[in-house]
Amino acid sequence: MARKALKNKAALPPKFSTRGYNRCPICGRMHGYMRDFDMCRCCFRNLAREGKIPGIVKSSW
């Protein structure tokens, strides 16, 4: 879990555009972020497994 200070810092506009980074709005994680779903891989996996993301199904063969 990210600290509140880091979440607030990520919400501010950066001084230079290359310093900006994305954070997961659910847990605050910044690594493993997927832009298509606006969340990190950990939260994506949990929500997909529960069936809360439409169109995503667990593959099996």
42 labelled binding-site residue: no
Q: What is the 3-state secondary structure (H, E, C) of the chain?
A: CCCHHHHHHHHCCCCCHHHCCCCCCCCCCCCCEECCCCEEHHHHHHHHHHCCCCCCCCCCC
27 labelled binding-site residue: yes
**Annotated binding-site residue numbers for Zn(2+):** 24, 27, 40, 43
**Annotated binding-site residue numbers:** 24, 27, 40, 43
